[in-house]
Amino acid sequence: MSSLPLRIATRQSALALWQAGHVAQRLRQAHSGLVVELVPMTTRGDQVLDRPLAEIGGKGLFLKELEVALLEQRADLAVHSLKDVPAELEPGFALIAVLARADSADALVSNTHATLAALPRHARVG
């Protein structure tokens, strides 16, 4: 196997770093000896916090800097939250893999109960 690392471009947010780290771990499990390196970066979407996304460019604001890193060969692939990816990608880019979805039943949002334990006995959620 090549000694050059596989470089994964990712946003610097905690969620993005976790997602990219998870992909790196899965790649290492599938390819023994593979060296994977995260390339964290800040995007325009991370920087402009005082205006709605639709007003400043939409979902693509979280991708542009990562796409530039790919074009400039500073990264070999990028990991994104699918919610941040526009329906149509820029020419030359492709969505090549999507991991299986994790259990989506991991959150409770309530304006009356602070914890699961605070729910009434036999409460139904969902």
Residues annotated as part of the active site? 84
Report yes or no: 21 and 38 within 8 Å, Cβ to Cβ: yes
Residues 6+ apart with CB under 8 A from 27: 6, 34, 36
Alpha-carbon Rg for the chain in angstroms: 18
* DSSP letter (8 states) at residue 64: H
Structural tokens at position 38: 């995260």
Distance CA(10)–CA(26), nearest Å, equals 16
Report yes or no: 100 and 110 within 8 Å, Cβ to Cβ: no
